[in-house]
């Protein structure tokens, strides 16, 4: 299965690692990724990325912290667009 490269900021990485219940199968590669310039570059299959996006959405829907919800929603939108762009 093909994979796509994802650029995350350190804040986006921290949102995933600190605020979602994504399993180690999804987060280990984030923890091991190197910072390249201002971004962390990670490769995911579309299936894995879709699963990760689900965890981000779940946390956004359940948090009572409005600022955290906005940040998670932005990350959700960013990654969802990547999925849509690569499904064409």
Token pair for residue 32? 């091991």
pLDDT number for residue 1 = 65
Q: How far apart are CA 2 and CA 52, in angstroms?
A: 16
Residues 6/79, Cβ–Cβ less than 8 Å = yes
Q: What pTM value is reported for the model?
A: 0.94
pLDDT number for residue 87 = 86
The backbone torsions φ and ψ at residue 9, rounded to the nearest 5 degrees and listed phi first, read -80, 165
Structure confidence by residue, pLDDT tens digits, 54-78: 999 999 999 999 999 999 999 999 9
Token pair for residue 50? 């879709």
Domain ranges of the chain: 3-87
DSSP, res 88: -
Token pair for residue 69? 């919800």
């Amino acid at each position: 299965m093909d994979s796509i490269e994802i650029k995350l900021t350190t804040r986006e990485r921290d949102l995933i690692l600190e605020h979602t219940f994504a399993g180690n199968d999804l987060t280990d590669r984030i923890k091991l990724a190197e910072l390249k310039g201002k971004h962390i570059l990670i490769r995911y299959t579309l299936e894995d990325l879709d699963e990760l996006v689900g965890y981000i959405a779940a946390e956004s829907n359940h948090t009572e912290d409005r600022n955290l919800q906005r940040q998670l929603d932005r990350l959700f939108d960013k990654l969802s667009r990547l999925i849509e762009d690569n499904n064409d």
